[in-house]
Amino acid sequence: MAKIIDGKAISAQIRAEIAAEVASMPVKPGLSVIIVGDDPASKVYVRNKHKACGEVGIRSEVIELPASATQEELDAVIDRLNADESVSGILCQLPLPKGLSEDEVIARIDPKKDVDAFSAVNVGHIMLGDPVFLPCTPAGVMELLKRSGVEVKGKSCVVVGRSNIVGKPMAMLLLKADGTVTVCHSKTADLKAVTSAADILVVAIGRAKFITADMVKEGAAVIDVGMDRDENGRLCGDVDFDAVSEKAGYITPVPGGVGPMTITMLLKNTVAAAKLQAGEKNQ
């Protein structure tokens, strides 16, 4: 039976560390979150981010724009936040309503305030192995592994999914930690052969219970980034938790695994952004 990696408990521990650090800062970090339209899932994520900021002493504001907002209006909000010294971090919740460009938004946010680490500049730093901001979800996964005592060095690491938000940066962080990394996706031939060889398996494809026990190596660490709904409408991950937990060595549940860590890493990045900007001001 696998050891269950408790993302909520690990998250609480790290948030307490962040709160202590924020308490010692003379000027508190500030996060501005933009949400466009009224996608219900996005609203929940944004509310959770706002609440988490308050709990660690980070100032935060949520800027709500209607789904009918134009690109120019959205750009103007970003320009104003870029110029505002009291704003340490800017995040625009994705996906955006049709007609608005995510690429444009990501490119417009000042890289020094890009706490999602989505911009080409920050992705470049990650690719070069010297990140300024760590990508939130992959960084959360790395913390879960570290704080659960799972060593990455020399291990066979398989990432299922190649998105810009999770799969690609995840591969970079595992590589930086000296893992031997393979990235799989929907066109991978014989996926099972690849996943079955993984000591560490990170799954981020957005398909409910897609990874079954026969695709997992005995004793592997299985990290589930999925947030899906099963046939009964219940929240579940990309991994068939009940069956895989009988075979894996470590496993993250959904909910309560990776999810809480993503927000925790966002808080960490917001503190890092405030320090970066304060350092530049004092030079």
Instruction: Give the binding range for ligand GUN (CB under 6 A) out of 61-69, 85-93, 124-132, 197-205.
Output: 85-93
Using CB under 6 A, pick the residue from 53, 91, 205, 215 that binds ligand GUN: 91
Using CB under 6 A, pick the residue from 5, 14, 35, 136 that binds ligand GUN: 136
For 206-260, the DSSP string reads: --TT-B-GGGS-TT-EEEE---EE-TTS-EE-SB-HHHHTTT-SEE--SSSSHHH
Residue 223: phi and psi, rounded to 5, are: -110, 120
Does 93 sit near ligand GUN (CB under 6 A)? yes
* SS3 of residue 178 by DSSP: coil
* SS3 of residue 166 by DSSP: coil
Q: Give the relative orientation of helices 136-147 and 7-23 as an angle to the nearest 10 degrees.
A: 110
Give least dist CB 71 to ligand GUN, A.
Answer: 17
Q: Which residue is nearest to ligand GUN (CB)?
A: 94
Size of site (CB under 6 A) for ligand GUN: 8
* SS3 of residue 121 by DSSP: helix
Has 116 been annotated as catalytic? yes
Residue given tokens 């901001």 in the structure block: 133
Q: Which two tokens stand for residue 110?
A: 């000042």
Which lies closer to ligand GUN via its Cβ, residue 220 or residue 225? 225
Does 228 sit near ligand GUN (CB under 6 A)? no
Q: Give the relative orientation of helices 258-281 and 7-23 as an angle to the nearest 10 degrees.
A: 20
Which lies closer to ligand GUN via its Cβ, residue 101 or residue 219? 101
Using CB under 6 A, pick the residue from 94, 132, 213, 276 that binds ligand GUN: 94
Does 213 sit near ligand GUN (CB under 6 A)? no
Does 252 sit near ligand GUN (CB under 6 A)? no
Considering the candidates 6, 114, 116, 238, report the single residue annotated as catalytic.
Answer: 116
Residues at the contact surface with ligand GUN, assessed by CB under 6 A: 91-94, 116, 136, 165, 262
